């Protein structure tokens, strides 16, 4: 969604991204860009340098929402990594939301391994007590070699520890993983390692997206030069199946219903796992139609 045009009363700059589940939330842009912004597959925040927005602008947007967005009971803090905001300042934002938007039931934000690590468990619990109810963590893969190749800036073990830390603080954790990010060469290895990571992390939600190459990104350049090969539709289905087969959650939702995917699935684990695997098998046998290429999108 492009928020390049400033709306009356709300201040948006550049490309604005939010999770599908935050479609009806009040979108409060408290940072610009992403604090990491080095991932080889991502071109989302190349149009702006990371910075925390001025408190006066943030308060102005909260006050605007208090007048005109009273039907929306969730807030999502944009841009790419609002959790990186220093604790005192982030608490100030949450307190202003509590003060002026008392009907809001949940605040959400993107996070990464670095920003979670910078917060103590007690600080995360404090944020939870003041409305932060969910964090969205881009894991992409549980395969250390691939994490290094895509410049994620973390390891599988660190991601597991940071995810567990969020859960321990009582904050819901929604994780995204990327089908196809290992290319054809590491497709099934990526799937198995990612399933194992998810099992150890045990998030509330898993969203499996399919890699879509974006012109201008390093990974797209590798693709053009023949250094990276995308798996075929069938190989991506096999990858999804292998990942799900190796994912064991205590009680979580595994989804591949993002617009980028060829086959939408939504399974409540553990009880819905076999049914979802059977659905993928039917698709592999050609008994279920896949989403056509023209309907796929980021």
- pLDDT tens for the chain, 298 residues long, are 434 334 467 899 888 889 989 999 999 999 998 888 889 998 887 777 889 999 999 999 999 999 999 999 999 999 888 999 999 999 999 999 999 999 999 999 999 999 999 999 999 999 999 999 999 999 999 999 999 999 999 999 999 999 999 999 999 999 999 999 999 999 999 999 999 999 999 999 999 999 999 999 999 999 999 999 999 999 999 999 999 999 999 999 999 988 888 898 999 999 999 999 999 999 999 998 888 887 877 6
Number of residues written out for the chain: 298
Q: Which residues contact 229 (CB under 8 A, 6 or more apart)?
A: 183, 184, 185, 223
List C-alpha distances in Å: 225 to 17, 65, 218, 219, 229: 29, 47, 11, 10, 10
Choose the CATH number for 142-289 among 3.40.50, 3.30.750, 1.10.20, 3.30.300.
3.30.750
pTM of the model: 0.93
Between β-strands 26-29 and 172-179, what pairing exists: parallel, antiparallel or unpaired? unpaired
What residues does CATH 3.30.750 cover in the chain? Answer: 142-289
Whether 58 and 66 have beta carbons less than 8 Å apart is answered as no
């Amino acid at each position: 969604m492009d928020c390049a045009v400033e709306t009356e009363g709300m201040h948006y700059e550049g490309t604005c991204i939010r999770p599908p589940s935050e479609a009806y939330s009040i979108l409060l842009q408290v940072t610009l860009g992403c604090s990491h912004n080095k991932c080889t597959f991502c071109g989302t925040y190349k149009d702006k340098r990371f910075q925390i927005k001025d408190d006066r602008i943030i308060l102005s947007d909260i006050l605007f929402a208090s007048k005109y967005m009273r039907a929306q009971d969730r807030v999502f803090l944009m841009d790419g990594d609002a959790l990186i905001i220093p604790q005192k300042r982030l608490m100030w934002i949450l307190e202003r939301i509590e003060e002026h938007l008392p009907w809001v039931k949940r605040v959400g934000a993107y996070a990464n391994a670095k920003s979670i690590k910078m917060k103590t468990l007690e600080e995360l619990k404090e944020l939870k007590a003041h409305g932060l109810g969910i964090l969205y963590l881009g894991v992409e893969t549980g395969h250390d070699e691939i994490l290094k190749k895509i410049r994620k800036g973390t390891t599988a073990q660190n991601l597991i520890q940071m995810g567990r830390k969020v859960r321990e603080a009582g904050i819901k954790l929604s994780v995204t993983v990327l089908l196809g990010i290992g290319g054809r060469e590491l497709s099934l290895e990526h799937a198995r390692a990612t399933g194992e990571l998810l099992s150890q992390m045990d998030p509330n939600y898993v969203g499996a997206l399919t890699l879509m190459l974006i012109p201008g990104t390093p990974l797209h350049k590798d693709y053009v030069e023949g250094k990276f090969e995308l798996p075929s539709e069938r190989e991506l289905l096999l990858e999804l199946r292998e990942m799900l087969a190796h994912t064991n959650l205590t009680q979580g939702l595994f989804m591949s219903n993002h617009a980028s995917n060829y086959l939408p699935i939504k399974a409540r684990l553990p009880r819905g796992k076999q049914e979802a695997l059977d659905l993928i098998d039917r698709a592999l046998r050609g008994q279920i139609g896949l989403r056509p290429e023209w309907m796929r999108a980021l």
